Amino acid sequence: MNHMPVRRRAFTLVELLVVIAIIGILVGLLLPAVQAAREAARRMSCSNNFKQIGLAIHNYHSAYKQLPIHGTGTYIPGGRDIWDTNPGREISANHRLSFLVGIVPFVEQQGLWDMLANPHGFNTDGSVHSPPWQAMGPHPDRVLYPPWAFETPTFRCPSDPGVGLPALGRTNYAACAGDSAVHSRDPYLNIDEKSEDATVTFPYSVDTGHANQSNGSQRGMFVNNRGMKFRDVLDGLSNTIMCGEIATDLGDNDNRTTLPTNTGAHAAPQEKNQCRLDPSYAVPYIDPDRPRFWLPTGLTSNVAWGRGFRWHDMMPPYTQMTTVLSPNKLLCSDGRDHRDVVSPPSSRHQGGVHVLMGDGAVVFITDSIEAGNPNAPQVSHRAGSPPPGSPSPFGLWGALGSRAGGEVIQEQLNQ
């Protein structure tokens, strides 16, 4: 019986190339979708972290009848520690601890809180520190104090890749100081953090000059060194920003995260809130080919002042944001010891930032939010500025930052 030979048909070279081309096209189409899906997941995780911070702040307020103080901790005139007769920063925190320190036990970090709230005898590298660190820690720049280098996952946005030195423990979430950066690093209390002088009292106290400056320009939900309450928010918690997202500095001259220190007094009424954007300046700072970056020449900055570098430090570059310039705009200071810092929120997300409202809602604000005149002088007691009590000159964005401006909010933010 004869059998016909079976012919096995194989792929031709052309067919194989066609299949490979189709697979390549599908992969090319799918990869961006996969990347977008990953970023969407990271953005959702970031929003959830912010919600946890909002819950922690509300739980803190329920427990202590006030918001966590932004600018708290131990204080000794001149920064003098209790064992040493020489001025130093080994023990006194000089009232520079941020609002995030107070909510540590409310974000399920009891171990970190126990380390903070008790004397601690070891350094970050494991060596013995003698005498032990005082409870609530030393000055925020002490790298040897272990809690200052600790990174709390709840305080970090997964989309932000910043990690490691020269930062200590980073954060992506900052307290809203309002729609004015004037006196943004100055305390409500009569404290001289650098040296002991005749005007400093101990125990610390409020004086008229500091209180007037603070009341005139610090119009956000958080006021430096002052115990604020929800009842202080006369515009309504759902209409007032409590915290904002910030991108941390990567050391790449990103003008949203690198703070210039030679820009001149931006907060004076006759000067701009934006650092040397005008090309007529003798030394322009913005790279014309990459407007999100500073030029590598002409700019002076302090590498330790990167955005979000210290979760525990209340100073503007680290844990403050303002509603002067719209989201993802540049940082600008008056160049003196990170004072008067216009510090917009920023993020690694596309098109905007998360903000935490006073009622605990997390809202994504786009970069294109109506923000008035970016070069308008900021509300303050300074001559030529809009006087305290004036409506925000920065439109809807500025109105959302002030706690008692009386502006009418006609936008539905959480859509």
3-state secondary structure of 233: coil
Please give the residue that has the higher pLDDT: either 240 or 199: 240
Least confident window among 83-87, 181-185, 308-312: 83-87
Q: Do the domain assignments include residue 134?
A: yes
* Tens-digit pLDDT profile for residues 271-321: 456 665 555 554 557 877 888 888 877 667 777 788 999 999 998 889 999
- Expressed in percent and rounded to 5, the helix, strand and coil fractions of the chain are 25, 15, 60
| The pLDDT of residue 77 | 58
β-strand 173-178 against 241-245: which pairing, if any?
A: antiparallel
Q: CA–CA distance from 350 to each of 347, 365, 366 (Å)?
A: 8, 11, 9
Of the candidate ranges 56-70, 124-138, 239-253, 285-299, the one whose mean pLDDT is the lowest: 285-299
Domain tally for the chain?
1
Q: What pLDDT digit, counting tens, does each position of 350-406 carry?
A: 889 999 999 999 999 998 898 888 888 888 877 778 888 888 889 899 989 898 877
Q: Left if phi > 0, otherwise alpha if psi is -120 to 50, otherwise beta: which for 326?
A: beta
CA distance 173 to 247: 9
Classify residue 256: in a domain, yes or no: yes
What percent of the chain is modeled with pLDDT above 90? 24
Q: How confident is the model at residue 79 (pLDDT cuts 50, 70, 90)?
A: very low
Q: Are 91 and 82 in contact (CB under 8 A)?
A: yes
Distance CA(57)–CA(155), nearest Å, equals 13
Tell me the pairing of strands 173-178 and 320-322: parallel
Closest CA to 397 of 334, 331, 324: 324
Please report whether residue 230 resides in a domain. Answer: yes
Which pLDDT score, from 0 to 100, does residue 93 have?
77
Is 53 a member of any domain?
Answer: yes
For residue 49, the one-letter residue type is N
**Vertex 192, ends 179 and 132: CA angle to 5°?**
110
Return the percentage of the chain with pLDDT > 70, whole number.
Answer: 76
Q: Is residue 32 part of a domain?
A: no
Indicate if the pLDDT at residue 2 is higher than 70: no
CA 306 – CA 319 distance, rounded (Å): 11
Whether residue 259 contacts residue 338, with contact meaning beta carbons closer than 8 Å, is answered with yes
Q: What is the value of pTM for the model shown? A: 0.83
**Predicted local distance difference test score (pLDDT) of residue 208:** 64
Residues 6+ apart with CB under 8 A from 252: 258, 293
Report which of 334, 304, 344, 322 is spatially closest to residue 140, judged by C-alpha positions. Answer: 304
Residue 11 in domain: no
| Cβ 310 vs Cβ 148: under 8 Å | yes
Residue with tokens 């700072």: 285
Q: Would 16 be classed as within a structural domain?
A: no
DSSP state letters, 360-398: S-EEEEETTS----TTSPPSSSSTTSPPTTPPPTTHHHH
Q: How confident is the model at residue 3 (pLDDT cuts 50, 70, 90)?
A: low
Which residues does residue 133 pair with via DSSP β-bridges, in sequence order?
A: 120
Q: Residue 386 domain-assigned?
A: yes
DSSP-assigned beta bridge partners for residue 97:
72, 313
Domain that holds residue 389: 37-401
**Residues linked to residue 290 through DSSP beta bridges, in sequence order:** 287
Query: What does pLDDT average to over the chain?
Result: 79
